[in-house]
Amino acid sequence: MIYQRYILIFSSLVAEWLAPQGLGPMESSKGLVMIGEGEKLVRALFGVASCRQPAVIFVDEIDSLLSQVSQVLLYKWTRNLKKMKSVFDPWESGLHRIQWLQRKSEGEHESSRRLKTQFLIEMEGFDSGSEQILLIGATNRPQELDEAARRRLTKRLYIPLPSSEARAWIIRNLLEKDGLFKLSKEDIDTICKLTEGYSGSDMKNLVKDASMGPLREALRQGIEITKLKKEDMRPVTLQDFESALQEVRPSVSLNELGTYDEWNKQFGSLSL
């Protein structure tokens, strides 16, 4: 039996894998989509999860919902507006534009603050220990989380970049689904050496691009796409991956990895 707890995971792909593992129904919510929908959507989210216990609430990009940077951004935005006002003072239309932008910025900030407060209240309300609700938040920006949110997310798990073995598994798993897997072990080893520093999402995009190689070749040969059948296409080859590597680059820099390591040393959890 799973008792309610709050978990922060530095990986969306890992969090999305959890729902089919017998943990219960997953209520998935994109943080950015929720902005502007109001506090009632947050109450509804927790309410539905409560009725469907045991349940999982998964919030992707949770930093966009529970961020601490809104105050900093508002300060910078207001400061820039003041500079703009001194420039546009001679033009009445410019002043009207600035005043409208100020009202819009203040309104959006207040809406975000209310939404964040409501979410924290709902988290606090489910902290009795008797509920069977698991809240998982995924983020690539843990350092931007509000301090109150960080305290409530008691388990903070850093998922590092996939190892060579994990990248090989991703390649096999995705290609076998399409029935296009014909790569040798040597081919996969070569691809894994070339993809050092790639995230799970990067590998997924790489496989997608490589799997388009046979289709592109068929189109170059003049075959009409409406008449093209799956059995007429050749398997994905190492050359397709080498071409895809020219298009799909790693999305995580060494500087970002260092930031994650530092945050994990300060706030991360060693295990569940």
Is 48 found in the same domain as 145? yes
* pLDDT at residue 107, as a whole number: 52
Do 108 and 27 belong together in one domain? yes
Pairing of strands 55-60, 133-138: parallel
* End-to-end Cα, the chain, rounded Å: 15
Q: What pLDDT is stored for residue 54 in this prediction?
A: 83
Would you say the pTM of this structure is higher than 0.75?
A: no
Where does residue 8 rank: exposed (0-12), middle (13-18), buried (19+ CB within 10 A)?
buried
Are 66 and 147 in the same domain? yes
Cα–Cα dist 221/176, whole Å: 25
- Whether residues 265 and 192 share a domain: the answer is no
Q: Same domain for 191 and 258? A: no
Range of the domain at 188: 164-250
Q: What is the pLDDT of residues 142-194, one digit of tens each?
A: 988 888 888 888 889 998 999 999 999 999 989 887 766 789 999 999 999 99
Q: What is the CATH number of the domain that holds 136?
A: 3.40.50.300
d(CA 191, CA 150): 38
Helix (H, G, I), strand (E, B) or coil at 83: helix
Q: What is the DSSP string of 152-182?
A: H--EEE------HHHHHHHHHHHHHHHT---
Whether residue 109 is found in the same domain as residue 208: no
**Which residue positions in the chain have pLDDT lower than 70?**
1-38, 69-109, 127-129, 179-180, 271-272
What's residue 74's pLDDT?
45
Is 90 in the same domain as 5? yes
Amino acid at 188: I
- Do residues 256 and 171 share a domain? no
Instruction: Output the pLDDT for position 237.
Output: 92
Count of domains in the chain? 2
Phi, psi angles (nearest 5°) of residue 49? -60, -40
- Note whether 32 and 95 are same-domain residues: yes
Q: Which residues lie across from 6 on neighbouring strands?
A: 135
Task: Check the CA dihedral 207-208-213-214 and report its sign.
Answer: positive
Contacts for 144 with CB less than 8 Å, ≥ 6 apart: 63, 67, 68, 69
98 and 109 together in one domain: yes
Could you report the per-residue pLDDT of 181-219, keeping only the tens digit for each? 789 999 999 999 999 999 999 999 999 999 999 888 888
Q: Examine the domain organization and report whether 44 and 149 are in the same domain.
A: yes
pLDDT, position 89: 46
Residues 223 and 226: their CA atoms lie apart, in Å, by 9
* Pairing state between β 5-9 and 133-138: parallel
52 and 154 share one domain: yes
Angle among Cα 241, 163, 57 to the nearest 5 degrees reads 100
Q: Are 132 and 3 in contact (CB under 8 A)?
A: yes
